Chains A and B, each alone.
Chain A
Amino acid sequence: MRHRFDTGDKVIVLELNKAGHVRTPHYVRNRVGTVLHRCGSYLNPEQLAVGDVGGPVIPLYRVAFDLAELWDDYQGNPGDRLCVEIYDHWLEASPDLRSERFHELEC
Chain B
Amino acid sequence: MSDHDHDDHDHSHAHEPLVVEDEAGNVEGQILVDALMNLLVRQKLLAPGEVRREIEKIEAPGAHLGARIVARAWTDDRYRQRLLADGKSAAAELGIAVGEAQLIVVENTTDTHNLVCCTLCSCYPRSILGQPPAWYISKAYRSRAVREPRAVLDEFGLHIPDHVELQVHDSNADMRYLVLPVRPAGAEGMTEADLAALVTRDCMIGTAQAVLPSS
Could you list which residues of chain A lie within 8 angstroms of chain B, going by C-beta atoms?
21, 23, 25-27, 37, 39-40, 42, 45, 60, 62, 67, 70-71, 74-77, 79-87, 107
Partner of B175, one of A39, A67, A70, A71: A39
A38 to B4, CA, bound (A): 25
Q: With A42-B173, A85-B174 as given contacts, are A27 and B146 in contact (CB-CB < 8 Å)?
A: yes
List of A residues within 8 angstroms of B165 by Cβ: 77, 79-81
Please determine whether A77 and B162 come into contact, CB atoms closer than 8 angstroms: yes
B97 in the interface (beta carbon within 8 A) = no
Of the candidates B5, B147, B162, B163, the one whose C-beta lies within 8 Å of that of A26 is B5
Q: Given that A25-B120, A26-B4, A85-B172 are known contacts, is A42 also in contact with B166, CB under 8 Å in the complex?
A: no
Of the four ranges (under 10, 10 to 19, 20 to 34, 35 or more), the interface on chain B belongs to 20 to 34
Instruction: State the B residues within 8 Å of A (CB).
Output: 1, 4-6, 101-102, 104, 106, 119-120, 146-151, 162-175
A87 touches B168 (CB 8 A): no
Please state if A40 and B6 are interface contacts (CB–CB under 8 Å).
Answer: no
B103 CB, min distance to chain A CBs, angstroms: 11
With known contacts A27-B6, A40-B102, A77–B173 Cβ distance under 8 A: no
For A87, the chain B residues whose CB sits under 8 A away are: 173
Contact A45 B173 (CB under 8 A): yes
B71 → A minimal CB distance (Å): 23
Pick the contact of B174 from A26, A42, A83 — CB < 8 Å?
A42
Top 8 closest pairs, chain A to chain B, by CB: A85-B173, A26-B4, A79-B165, A84-B170, A80-B166, A42-B174, A23-B173, A83-B169
With contacts A25-B4, A25-B119, A76-B150 taken as known, whether A60 is within 8 angstroms of B173 at the C-beta atoms is: yes
List, in ascending order, chain B residues with CB within 8 A of A67's CB: 146, 149, 166, 168
Which has the most chain B C-beta neighbours within 10 Å: A37, A60, A70, A80? A80
Task: Enumerate chain A residues within 8 angstroms of B162, measured Cβ to Cβ.
Answer: 76-77
A84 to chain B, nearest CB (A): 4
CA distance A83 to B175 in the complex (A): 12
